[in-house]
Structure 1
């Protein structure tokens, strides 16, 4: 008998001692980080809401209780019983029964009403039917991504259970080493922006944190081939943690499965969906530009199938010696600071990912409240001594001034923006400004993936800023549904129509002018001196966006289909509006560290160009008297 089997037998015996003597437990198994308990008496567990909490406390495990399939009522009988319990105002749009696990997935416009106060309605559903309810939101804006991900996971449900059971056994295996050490190896994004990737290793465990590409540099990828990474095979990795979905952090996650990785990806639910959206688009763009994509769409599906979504604040075992907790990073939807608790109080490491320390219109500011952090791996995108962004209100004022001046002279405002994050932030500014009469009401055209990304935002309002979430939940006034917003879905013909019409605002990808529909808009509007190209986001070195900011006005345009390139002379105005970045500026980065209590002993300053990382490292050392580093790629740090 394996050690895991023995462990499960002991757990089952403990559960049987703790529950009432007439409650039958039929199976106990691991599924990923969770302990799943099957019982012939699910209604008893539902009636006693404290029973599961008591078991979780006793066993120090995350526990899910499911009914034994033998005691389930038929789905056609349970359907009406479920609907009778749920208030009509919840707006149930689908019920999906899974006999193998005894779960009923309830899709509703208002999930909170299905859950009830402190989960009361969920418990009532189980009391009435025996089925275990799982609740998901019906997207207010139809999202093909959310729909496809949910349908795919439904189709792969059986295989996914097998994957989760195998992962669970790996997580809960016995420790095999008596050694104690912690190492971090830098595989990318050191003294540069992009290709984020790190290995966190202990004698027991090897975890990859992020795996992205580098904007504006097709051939520069993380150093995955080194022995610390995949040099001994992708199967040597125990887990992957993804901080957020931007491609400089996520683009090469599916590549791991091409190399033979078959383990879990831990991230938030919206990051899983956005990763699917952005990586599939990444493949599409590569194909259109005549490049050979590094992997195919099947690998994206594998990544989604292996993803284990975590909620902010949930402490989760990901290996015998590491617990992971994700916290809000304030950067984009679902972005996370990843905190690792290693060993039995041995060491704690936090990876900031990309952060925004202050509240924005979209998100609450980044969380930095951890019980312990000995080492912090900290982004430094705006870590330079002069990298202070404009105050958000001043930024919004400048944006509105630029828009009003352009519209007054009959021009159009073209805003290149990342599909995820900055686009939705700008949408909120424009919606309020038009509603309050600060700028004229004109169409706001959304091109590229922006509409789909916005739909995903509306699916997960619980990840948005408190005030915005309350507005969507309780005031029934979703700003993303404003009449001004128009989804460009008619391709080049619709773009030409918009270019021929009157004043308007266009928000289009890509945010750094590295391909995508923004190039078509430059062709349509670039020679119009009445129109304005308005930058609202970071432009990395080497990108066309950075070159235009630096004064380029001769723009290479690809004619497509092998017809070569031509040069466009840019005559439209160019404006840069700082303050809308999803990254904290120098002050915000310092404040993130300043307000940590206790502060870390060491800080690795990464994800910034060479001067930014070095200047930020020096500033933290002098300000807080802590050990700081601006590492190069391929350095390894040993702790403990």
Structure 2
């Protein structure tokens, strides 16, 4: 078994790993690269392999940095099955159609502005490409080992990151590969905790927060309540860039759970996303995946997805109308790293207002607008216009959908190695170097192994 590392190897987006085993080629994830315009331009580059030569694609979860180039892969010749956990399969169409819509809109906008003689802008892929890719998707449940190719078996285990997120177990050539996907912290609302893995001959593990310990969740929730109350007293609005799948639903959960304590009925809450209603419907269909705490909230509190003052704004006209709300609005809008989507329109309209609060509830990748705002930028450029930043900014780290250094070490430490080894070889992916180096040092000290910090183009033999 040989693993070739192509993406999310020294960065946190563009997940792309190729496994060659049993005479077959299996791709793990096919994610979009996110960040600066220069980074995102790499999405259109040729793949570092022949798409038509791949036999199968395995998806860990439905975030766009793990699935965002799947339609492009199919358009370039991939004809194999796409294996995903059942809830992930439901979410994929929603996420990819939204990405196609954004790409088509941006190409149209660029063509309206292009000077005479400039080449025409084309989208990375279209809605038709998405539908072609979805025809190849094969949903699988958790915890069932399936033969997906001659000599290759697959199983998905709960990863606790978003609905349907999975750690991947892959068996071939008498070896077992484990790919963490993205791991969530224990105790994440709605979701069950990551499932333990018993053994592996090689582990590919994410390292997003490999150098951090998250704040206590209870203190984080108290901070969120304080931010909301202070904003109300200041007569302002709250803007929250959040992924449409995962963080948005968790925020609504906390609003419902603290409905009386936070006086949530005084707010107007907008889930400003054309995909919001569709995502809520997917959560409803897969309520059997919720943890016990979520089941209790659904029984005893206002339904988080049907709060009486919640509005799902699907049309552009409804989204623009939010600008007329001078105070008392909570706007949750994509994208989570503020590098595209409707949150940019709200930023352009409200960042220059000191009574506006911007609340960051997830990781902001290097080169993104979200990272620049977190780092204290006084001016930012949005849709070709320079915008002064006078809004107050808050980073609420305890709501991360990624586990921290302690969680990563515990998850890896529970895996037994092959051939009598205490722990299997470890390759760290999906992390910037500072995070990966810190995690590698801690793991080396505790478990006596030297993790590999992979780079694009590296390969690992098992």
TM-score (normalised: structure 2): 0.90
Q: Measure, in 1, the Cα distance between the counterparts of 2:191 and 2:168.
A: 17
Q: Give the Å deviation of 1:454.
A: 2.4
1:373 aligns with 2:195: no
1:501 to 1:292, Cα distance in 2 relative to 1, 3 A = same
Q: Measure, in 2, the Cα distance between the counterparts of 1:376 and 1:283.
A: 33
Q: May I ask how many residue pairs the two structures share in their alignment? A: 441
Among residues 367, 370, 390, which one is paired with 1:571 in the alignment? 390
- 1:262 maps to 79
1:223 to 1:632, Cα distance in 2 relative to 1, 3 A = farther
Among residues 192, 195, 214, which one is paired with 1:389 in the alignment? 214
1:377 to 1:493, Cα distance in 2 relative to 1, 3 A = closer
Q: Measure, in 2, the Cα distance between the counterparts of 1:437 and 1:282.
A: 34
- 1:210 maps to 29
RCO higher in structure (CA 8 A, sep ≥6):
2
User: Structure 1, residues 452-501: CA drift from partner, whole Å, max 9, x if none?
Assistant: 322321221122223324654x7796332221211123534653455334
| Secondary structure of 2:220's aligned partner | helix
Q: Measure, in 2, the Cα distance between the counterparts of 1:184 and 1:534.
A: 39
1:152-191 maps to which residues of 2 (within 5 A)? 182-191=1-10
Query: Is there any run of 5+ residues in structure 2 with no aligned partner, and where?
Result: 108-120
User: Structure 1, residues 236-274: CA drift from partner, whole Å, max 9, x if none?
Assistant: 211110001111110111112212221101101221122
Alpha carbons 1:197, 1:208 under 8 Å: kept: yes
The structure having more radius of gyration, on CA atoms, is 1
- 1:592 maps to 411
1:300-449 maps to which residues of 2 (within 5 A)? 300-343=130-173, 346-370=174-198, 372-384=199-211, 387-437=212-262, 441-448=266-273, 449=275
| Secondary structure of 1:218's aligned partner | helix
1:520 aligns with 2:345: yes
Alpha carbons 1:212, 1:221 under 8 Å: kept: no
Q: Give the Å deviation of 1:576.
A: 1.0
Q: Measure, in 1, the Cα distance between the counterparts of 2:423 and 2:276.
A: 38
| Secondary structure of 2:230's aligned partner | helix
Among residues 230, 235, 249, which one is paired with 2:66 in the alignment? 249
1:215 to 1:225, Cα distance in 2 relative to 1, 3 A = closer
1:633 aligns with 2:456: yes
Q: Measure, in 2, the Cα distance between the counterparts of 1:605 and 1:497.
A: 42
| Secondary structure of 1:404's aligned partner | helix
Q: Measure, in 1, the Cα distance between the counterparts of 2:279 and 2:318.
A: 23
Q: Measure, in 1, the Cα distance between the counterparts of 2:301 and 2:404.
A: 34
Alpha carbons 1:407, 1:504 under 8 Å: kept: no
Q: Measure, in 1, the Cα distance between the counterparts of 2:152 and 2:99.
A: 32
Q: Measure, in 1, the Cα distance between the counterparts of 2:63 and 2:322.
A: 31
